Every structure is written in structure tokens, then in C-alpha cells.
Amino acid sequence: MSFELPKLSYSYNALEPHIDAQTMEIHYLKHHGGYTNNLNKAIENTPLADLSIEEILKDVSKHSAAVRNNGGGFYNHNLFWTVMSPNGGGKPLGKIAAAINAKFGSFESFKEKFSAAAATRFGSGWAWLIDKDGALEIISTPNQDNPLMDVVEVKGYPLLALDVWEHAYYLKYQNRRPDYIENFWHVVNWHEVERRFTNR
């Protein structure tokens, strides 16, 4: 068995002007495609080839750096594309909205905290909203680590993810990571975040 690069449900220019078409195309085909190919190479002819990506990630400390980096890269980007949408933005609704308000006080306060986690992640990494045993938490991880991995400090089920590697924004935003983060809110697919929160 090998992992496949999932189809994008929107075109490369669909998230314009917030995320530009060239960044989307390179990010998806070259970066996500690269993680997918390299993950397959790393697990070929090993017992990991019979496992799901979630099963691989939960014991990732036992595997090679190639599995950790590329397995994380494969999973994280699969998730990232689905939590954005050309019809995204606005405010969360439903149970996730209630949970955000209960935990963070307001949507604005949640946005500030998540944006700060993304902005202050030094170097390459991700910001996450996770469900940790029924409670929401905001965390960030370095490189392609994610909250399903046994190597991260605070584990949980990822609901929302933001890629803050320079490859995710540099063509359009150069060094202005905070501008990229601010514009991310225009494309967040709250329906998918709600679906992950309620149907896991």
C-alpha cells in the first residue's frame, strides 16, 4: 500500500487574493507531493506500509526521521487544504463556536491567541487548534510535527491547522508572516472545522 496525494477540492487560484495561485500550485504539487513520495519511499518494504497514517504518527518516536518529517508533511497538508475554502472566512457556527467562546471568551480572543501562536513559532512549523480530551487548546509545533505524534508536548485531535513555513507565504508576503496569518482568517473553512469537532 502507498499513500496518494489527495485531490484539491478547489483550483489553485480559488483562495486569491489571500493565498496566491503560484504559491498554491508549488505548495501542493512540489511540497505536499514531495512529502507524499518521500513517505512512500521511507515505508516501502517495511511493516509501516500496512498501517494508516494515524497509526504511523502515534508511535512516530520509534520510526526514522524520514518517516517523522514526511509522514507529518503528508498528514498536515492533507488537513490544511480541507480547512480552507474559497467560501471560507467569517465566524464559526454551531458547536465549535460555542466551544471556542466557552474556552477563549470570544472569537476575537481565540483569533488573537491562535495568530500569536502562528506568529511566534520560530522558524518552520504549524499552529493548531486541537481537541484534547474534549477541551480545546491552541498549540504550535516545529517542522512537520503534529499533535497526533507521541513526540509533541501537548497531544490532541487537530481541528484547524495553519502552515507557517516560508514556502506557504513567501512568494506573496515575503517576510510579512503576520499579514499572511491575518489573511488566513478570510479562507478558514469553519464547516470543516465543525465537522471535525463533531464527527470524529
* Least distance to Mn ion, CB of residue 2, Å: 21
Residues 164-193 that bind Mn ion (CB under 5 A): 165, 168
Comparison of 31 and 103: residue with beta carbon closer to Mn ion:
31
Q: Cα separation of 19 and 3, whole Å?
A: 26
Only one residue has cell 472566512, namely: 89
* Least distance to Mn ion, CB of residue 100, Å: 25
Which stretch, 86-94, 134-142, 160-168, 183-191, contacts Mn ion (CB under 5 A)? 160-168
Contact in structure between 155 and 128 (CB atoms under 8 Å): no
Which stretch, 23-31, 87-95, 97-105, 191-199, contacts Mn ion (CB under 5 A)? 23-31
HSE-CB for 22 with a 13 A CA cutoff: 5
- Residues binding Mn ion: what is the number (CB under 5 A)? 4
Among 39, 75, 160, 163, which residue interacts with Mn ion (rule: CB under 5 A)? 163
Q: Which of 14, 35, 9, 5 shows the shortest CA–CA distance to 165?
A: 35
Q: What does each C-alpha distance from 32 to 72, 75, 120, 135, 176 come to in angstroms?
A: 10, 9, 24, 30, 23
By the criterion CB under 5 A, which residues form the site for Mn ion? 31, 163, 165, 168
